Structure 1
Amino acid sequence: MTPTTEIIEAAAGTPRFVAGFTGPPGAGKSTIARRVVAELSQRFGDDAVGYLPMDGFHLATTVLDHLGRAGRRGAPDTFDIDGFVSLLRRATVPGKDIYAPDFDHRGVGGSTAEPIAAALIIPATAKVLVVEGNYLALDGEWSPVRDHIDRLWFVDVPDGVRRERLSVRHIAAGRSAEDAGRWIESVDDPNADLIRSCRHRCDVLLDGTS
Structure 2
Amino acid sequence: MTEEHETTVDALAERVLDRAGDCAGRYLLGIAGPPGAGKSTLAAALRTAVDAAAGSNVAELAPMDGYHLPNAHLRALGRLAGKGEPDTFDVTGFVDGLNRLRHTPIGEPVPWPTFDRATDEPTPGGIIVTGQRIIITEGNYLLLDDGPWSKVRPLLDECWYLTADRRTRVERLLHRHLRGGRDESAARAKVHNSDMANADLVESTAHRADLVLHERDSHYFIY
* TM-score, length-scaled by structure 2: 0.87
Contact 2:14 2:50 in 1 (8 A): no
Measure how far apart 1:41 and its partner are.
2.9
Alignment of 1:51-62 (within 5 A): 51-62=61-72
* Aligned residue type for 1:105: R
Measure how far apart 1:37 and its partner are.
1.4
CA distance in 1, matches of 2:90, 2:102: 19
Residue 128 of structure 1: aligned partner = 134
Residue 64 of structure 1: aligned partner = 74
CA distance in 1, matches of 2:46, 2:185: 34
Alignment of 1:79-98 (within 5 A): 79-95=89-105, 96-98=108-110
Measure how far apart 1:93 and its partner are.
2.9
Select which of 163, 177, 180 maps to 1:170.
177
**Consecutive aligned runs of 4 or more in structure 1 exceeding 3 Å deviation:** none
Residue 221 of structure 2: aligned partner = none
Which 10-residue stretch deviates more, 128-137 or 85-94? 85-94
* Aligned residue type for 1:33: A
CA distance in 2, matches of 1:28, 1:12: 27
> Structure 1, unaligned stretches of length 5 or more?
108-112
CA distance in 1, matches of 2:50, 2:118: 26
* Aligned residue type for 2:13: T
Measure how far apart 1:5 and its partner are.
1.4
Residue 102 of structure 1: aligned partner = 114
* TM-score, length-scaled by structure 1: 0.93
* Aligned residue type for 2:40: S
Percent identity of equivalent pairs: 36
Select which of 9, 20, 24 maps to 2:18.
9
- Asked if 1:40 corresponds to 2:50, the answer is yes
Q: Spell out, residue by residue over 1:144-166, the C-alpha distance to the aligned partner (whole angstroms, 9 max, x if none).
A: 10001111110001110100010
CA distance in 1, matches of 2:22, 2:91: 31
Say which SS state the counterpart of residue 213 (structure 2) adopts. Answer: strand
* Aligned residue type for 1:166: L
Measure how far apart 1:106 and its partner are.
2.0
Q: Spell out, residue by residue over 1:62-87, the C-alpha distance to the aligned partner (whole angstroms, 9 max, x if none).
A: 00000000000000000001000011
Task: Number of aligned residue pairs: give it.
Answer: 203
Measure how far apart 1:94 and its partner are.
4.5
Say which SS state the counterpart of residue 188 (structure 2) adopts. Answer: helix
Say which SS state the counterpart of residue 35 (structure 1) adopts. Answer: helix
CA distance in 2, matches of 1:16, 1:120: 16
Q: Spell out, residue by residue over 1:9-66, the C-alpha distance to the aligned partner (whole angstroms, 9 max, x if none).
A: 11113122111111000000111011111222334423x2222110000001100000
Select which of 152, 155, 159 maps to 1:148.
155
Contact 1:137 1:145 in 2 (8 A): yes
Give the alignment's Cα RMSD to 1 decimal: 1.2
CA distance in 1, matches of 2:73, 2:203: 28
Contact 2:70 2:121 in 1 (8 A): yes
